[in-house]
A = this chain, B = another copy of it.
Amino acid sequence: MNNALYNHIKRFVDIDKAECSKLLGYFDHFNLAKKDTVTHAGEKCDHLYFVLQGCLHTYFIDNNGAEKTIQFAIEDWWITDFLAYHHQIKTEYCLQAVEASKVLCITYEKQQELFAEHPVMESYFRKIYEVGYGAAIRRLQYIFTYSKEEIFYRFRDEFPEFVNRVPQYLIATYLGLTPEYVSKLRRKPVS
């Protein structure tokens, strides 16, 4: 069993190593190079990814042809287009490695088998999605509440490593800012 996934599952549900070791058979393991794309916009969304090492993001192309990052995932985060994945339809997003990454990948079909054979994983994903849903709502609140400068500083305070690791043009679109604006803020000293 991959230790990172085992440790993550244990944080949310009671599971022993023997059962957990059976779970890995449901997953594929990939190494991704920087900028490798695992799902393209327009493809059926039937894969879910867990980041072991590195960073992935989903982005879409806006009306002006610009790439806009809508989600990030670093170590121990799950990522896909959850709405398209749930409905098993085409996604509007590209899912790409921001940096060289190692991921575990499960197909929708395999995940349904996983739920049937290991019901504890229903509880695990119910909790993962509960947190993800709540955090996405909180992100909307920030966008509606704070000035662009406040949004950047709150994000930097909450995820300092992230800001130093991820290209600033990606952070900019994720926060609804321009790359030039983030570049200017980033040069300011940490308060």
Copies in the complex: 2
Question: B60, B84, B126, B136: which contacts A136 (Cβ < 8 A)?
Answer: B136
Judge whether B70 and A144 touch: CB under 8 Å: yes
Chain B residues whose CB sits within 8 angstroms of the CB of A122 once the complex forms: 119, 122-123, 126
Question: What are 22 contact pairs spanning A and B, CB under 8 A?
Answer: A60-B145, A68-B144, A70-B140, A70-B144, A71-B137, A81-B137, A83-B131, A83-B135, A83-B138, A84-B134, A86-B127, A86-B134, A115-B123, A119-B119, A119-B123, A122-B122, A122-B126, A126-B126, A129-B129, A129-B130, A143-B176, A144-B173
Complex: how many Å from CA A131 to CA B83?
6
Size bracket, chain A contacts: 35 or more
Judge whether B70 and A130 touch: CB under 8 Å: no
Complex: how many Å from CA A139 to CA B139?
11
Complex: how many Å from CA A143 to CA B60?
13
Chain B residues whose CB sits within 8 angstroms of the CB of A139 once the complex forms: 140
A132 proximal to B (CB < 8 A): yes
A77 proximal to B (CB < 8 A): no
